[in-house]
Amino acid sequence: MNAERFGERGRALLAELRARRSGELGPGVEIEVEVYEKRGRSRSFERGPLGDSSLQSIESGWAVRGGDRRGSYFAAGAGETPVALDPPVTTPHPLRLPEARPPRPWRDPAGLESPLAGENEARALVDGIARELERELGGTLLESARLDDGASESALVSSRGVAVRWRSRSTALRLVARRGAVSVAAELVARAAAELKPLAVARRVADRLSALEAPPAPPASGALLLAAPLAARLLEAYAPRLVGAGAPELLRVAAGGDRRIAAVEVTVVDDGGRVGGLLAAPCDGEGVPTGAATLIAGGELVAPLRAWWESEGEAPAPGCMRRPGWRDLPRRAPAELALEPAARIAVADLVAELGSGAYLIAPEGAVRVDAAGDAFTVAVSGYAVEGGRATRPLGPCRLSGRLSTWMLGVRARARDLTWVPGDGLYGAPSLIVEGLELGV
| Burial degree of 26 (CB within 10 A; 0-12, 13-18, 19+) | exposed
Residue 11 phi, psi dihedral angles, 5° rounding:
-65, -35
pLDDT of residue 144: 98
- Shared domain for 304 and 375, answered yes or no, is yes
pLDDT of residue 1: 41
**How far is residue 351 CA from its own chain's centroid?**
28
- Shared domain for 312 and 330, answered yes or no, is yes
Contact (Cβ atoms closer than 8 angstroms) between residue 433 and residue 410? yes
Residue 422 lies in domain:
215-439
Task: Tell me how many domains the chain contains.
Answer: 2
* Residue 189 CB partners (closer than 8 Å, separation 6+): 170, 171, 172, 173, 278, 419, 420, 421, 425
Strand partners, 165: 155
Q: What's the CATH number where 32 sits?
A: 3.30.2290.10
Query: Does 279 map to a domain?
Result: yes
Q: Give the span between the Cα atoms of 188 and 177, in whole angstroms.
A: 14
Could you read off the pLDDT tens digit of each residue along the chain, which spans 440 residues? 445 789 999 999 999 998 876 555 555 556 799 999 999 999 999 999 999 999 999 999 999 999 988 899 999 999 999 999 988 889 999 999 999 999 888 988 888 888 999 999 999 999 999 999 999 999 999 999 999 999 999 999 999 999 999 999 999 999 999 999 999 999 999 999 999 999 999 999 999 999 999 999 888 777 899 999 999 999 999 999 999 887 877 676 655 656 689 999 999 999 999 988 999 999 999 999 999 999 999 999 888 999 999 876 677 889 999 998 899 999 999 999 999 999 999 999 999 999 889 999 999 999 999 988 899 999 999 999 998 888 899 999 999 999 988 999 999 999 999 999 999 999 999 999 999 999 98
- Shared domain for 125 and 221, answered yes or no, is no
Residue 327 phi, psi dihedral angles, 5° rounding:
-85, -10
Query: Does 89 map to a domain?
Result: yes
Query: Does 3 map to a domain?
Result: no
Which three-class secondary structure state does DSSP give residue 191?
coil
- Shared domain for 153 and 99, answered yes or no, is yes
Q: Give the span between the Cα atoms of 252 and 220, in whole angstroms.
A: 33
- Shared domain for 190 and 225, answered yes or no, is no
Q: Write the CA distances from 38 to 82, 160, 335, 354, integer angstroms.
A: 13, 20, 18, 49
- Shared domain for 249 and 382, answered yes or no, is yes
- Shared domain for 205 and 224, answered yes or no, is no
Q: Give the span between the Cα atoms of 362 and 352, in whole angstroms.
A: 19
| Nearest one of 341, 361, 337 to 422, comparing CA atoms | 337
- Shared domain for 116 and 221, answered yes or no, is no
HSE toward the beta carbon, residue 173, CA cutoff 13 A:
24
- Shared domain for 166 and 315, answered yes or no, is no
pLDDT of residue 253: 62
Residue type (1 letter), 250 = L
Q: Write the CA distances from 84 to 108, 156, 233, integer angstroms.
A: 32, 16, 45
- Shared domain for 149 and 223, answered yes or no, is no
Q: Label residues 280-314 b or e (16+ Cβ within 10 Å = b).
A: bbbbbbbbbbbbebebbbebebebbbbbbeeeeee
Residue type (1 letter), 140 = T
**How far is residue 129 CA from its own chain's centroid?**
24
Of the residues 194, 211, 228, which one is the last residue of a structural domain? 211
Strand partners, 146: 46, 174
Q: Give the span between the Cα atoms of 103 and 162, in whole angstroms.
A: 10
Of the residues 159, 194, 211, which one is the last residue of a structural domain? 211
* Residue 216 CB partners (closer than 8 Å, separation 6+): 394, 395, 396, 397, 440
Of the residues 211, 236, 268, which one is the last residue of a structural domain? 211
Contact (Cβ atoms closer than 8 angstroms) between residue 212 and residue 181? no
